[in-house]
Amino acid sequence: MDYCKYHPLDGATYACRACNICQCDKCVDDEHRAAHCFVCGAVLESLGSANTVEPFWRRLKEAFKYPVNANSMSLIVITALISVLATLMPFLWILSLVLYLFAAGSIMKYSFTCLERTAMGEMKAPDVMDAYSGGITLLLQLVLMTVVLTVIAGAAYYYLGPALGGLLGFIAVFSYPAILIRFAQTESMLEAMNPFAAVALMAAIGLPYGLLIVFMLIMMTSVGVLHEWIGALVPAVSYLLQSIVSNYYTVVMFHLMGYMLFQYQEQLGYSARSDEDDETPDRSEQERLAAKIDVMLKEGDYEEVVKLYYQAFKKFPNEVIFFEKFFDLLYVCKKAVLMADYGLTYLEFLNRRKRFDKLTPTLKQILFVAPDYLPDSPTMRVQLATLLKQQGDVKLAVKLLNGMHKLYPEFAGLPDAYQLLADTLDEIPNMHAQAEKCRQMAVQLKRKVDERQAALALQVEQKRAQDAQALNKTTGVKAVRKGPPPGTTLSGITLELVPLEPVVAKTDADDATA
């Protein structure tokens, strides 16, 4: 049995001859019609379900449910009724024989179809229309093969003695299911009765073949027991029920024989996949990308893994699994450079997901791998410092806030950041003087921010006036001034336009805290 290289406990369903490895369904690129290898991109060879199929003795429950559907049960009941009608017309023996052959031929033809379809991985009962063509011919061939085996066993008993004759008869009975399987595969009586082919089939299957014989004997015996129970009470219904149960067990037995072929397909030299596997919904692009990352990680191609993760971050910015797995990988592998590069991305992802409870623990994990790390985002620094202050980790909060006016001079939240820094320093012994300086710094920064906003507002107003003046020139419409023009007098008050000079704020770098 072949196992997946990347999941050693799972059976393989594909083989890459270029890489000389086997893979399961989860470890292949199934985006295209033919499965490809994630590593080399080559088209994979299908191994079928030989390595993943469940043993037939574990599927007995499903096997007994196999004929329980409208199509199969209708055929089982109808053929049983026809068989009963055939026995009730002994005076019309020709019609009775035709009816019996039709009923028996139909159920045998359908059973052989079930065997063939199951051997190819079709786990649902086929349409009953396949039972109405060639059934009588098939039945006559089965009868002829049975007669030939009986004659051979009888001749051996008569000419070679009871011991050899009995042994040969036992071998014929024991190999009869193998003969039926060969007949279903080849549709040739000569091929089916070839003793070497039957022995090869039994040897390829091994001990489970004997287990199948035991199950078949149990089912045949149960039909006789049912006849004994019901026949004494309701003789008229006994034969009908016995015929229905017999037909039902026939379909189940042929399904089990087909499933046994499907289970041992590798030993028998063919490949098939179960339709239950085909019903599995196609993987999404996200699942396929996650599978490729898993394969490349196990191959040790870490550069490709990092590339695939960043590709996943762009395509699926809200998918938790990619962000968390990459962070866990960097943390376990202690990749300081990659962690410093990825830290802010992961923190911002947690912030988008409103996982504020994980922000400070994540920061400490990052610092464990990259001790000098500080997020390159003023907003994230302030948010983390606020949380750390609430949790009592004031030293780390100060580390995040210190020197922000130099790193992010344009950050509008600097006054609040330094006010937070001052409040944090108040909680550290002997740092009250520094806290006061930070408060003064916060006042200066607040004044700068207000002046900057006033200057920006003035620029916007001037730009708006220039745009309006340019529009007036192009349209030839003179602007109408509301109110009196400059220099006119209203009630003794003279109105004049006085240009405003912008006020330049003084900066005091000495007040910056180290």
**Separation CA 245–CA 10 (nearest Å):** 38
The C-alpha angle with vertex 220 and arms to 215 and 224, in degrees rounded to 5, equals 140
Three-class SS state of 129: helix
For the chain, which residues make up each domain, given as ranges?
Answer: 1-47, 57-275, 283-373
Please check whether residue 28 is in contact with residue 253, taking contact to mean a CB–CB distance below 8 angstroms.
no
Hey, what are 337's tokens? 């450079």
Please check whether residue 135 is in contact with residue 161, taking contact to mean a CB–CB distance below 8 angstroms.
no
As a whole number, mean pLDDT of residues 489-511 equals 36
Token match 């019309």: residue?
92
CA distances from 462 to 448, 451, 483 (A): 21, 16, 20
Quickly state the pLDDT bin for 492 (edges 50, 70, 90): very low
**Separation CA 278–CA 296 (nearest Å):** 26
Higher pLDDT, 189 or 21: 21
Q: What is the mean pLDDT of the chain?
A: 82
Please check whether residue 128 is in contact with residue 75, taking contact to mean a CB–CB distance below 8 angstroms.
yes
Instruction: Look at residue 481 in the predicted model and tell me its pLDDT.
Output: 46
**Separation CA 482–CA 291 (nearest Å):** 71
CA distances from 472 to 25, 385, 463, 464, 497 (A): 72, 53, 14, 12, 21
Instruction: Look at residue 200 in the predicted model and tell me its pLDDT.
Output: 87
Instruction: Look at residue 452 in the predicted model and tell me its pLDDT.
Output: 77
The C-alpha angle with vertex 320 and arms to 315 and 326, in degrees rounded to 5, equals 85
**Separation CA 253–CA 275 (nearest Å):** 20
What is residue 42's DSSP assignment?
A: P
Q: What are phi and psi of 411, to 5 degrees?
A: -70, 120
Per the DSSP assignment, residues forming a β-bridge with 46 are: 14
Q: Tell me how long the chain is.
A: 514
Instruction: List the one residue out of 44, 47, 67, 412 whose CA is nearest residue 246.
Output: 67
Q: What is the pLDDT of residues 117-165, one digit of tens each?
A: 898 888 898 888 765 666 677 778 888 888 888 888 888 878 878 888 7
**Separation CA 2–CA 271 (nearest Å):** 14
Q: Is the pTM of this model over 0.85?
A: no
Please check whether residue 351 is in contact with residue 380, taking contact to mean a CB–CB distance below 8 angstroms.
yes
Quickly state the pLDDT bin for 493 (edges 50, 70, 90): very low
Q: CB under 8 Å to 40, separation ≥6 — which residues?
A: 16, 18, 19
**Separation CA 111–CA 134 (nearest Å):** 13
Inform me whether the pLDDT recorded for 477 exceeds 60. no
Q: What are phi and psi of 356, to 5 degrees?
A: -65, -25
**Separation CA 165–CA 36 (nearest Å):** 57
Instruction: List the one residue out of 134, 135, 138 whose CA is nearest residue 146.
Output: 138
Strands across the sheet with 14-16, in order?
A: 21-23, 14-16, 45-46
Higher pLDDT, 372 or 460: 372
As a whole number, mean pLDDT of residues 498-514 equals 37
**Separation CA 272–CA 136 (nearest Å):** 30
Which CATH architecture describes the domain 283-373? Alpha Horseshoe (1.25)
Give CA torsion, residues 274, 279, 284, 287, to 10 deg: -50
Give the DSSP H/E element, type plus range, for residue 343. Answer: helix 336-352
Inform me whether the pLDDT recorded for 230 exceeds 80. no
Q: What is the pLDDT of residues 206-215, one digit of tens each?
A: 888 888 888 8
**Separation CA 118–CA 103 (nearest Å):** 23
Q: What is the pLDDT of residues 337-368, one digit of tens each?
A: 999 999 999 999 999 999 999 999 999 999 99
**Separation CA 110–CA 92 (nearest Å):** 27
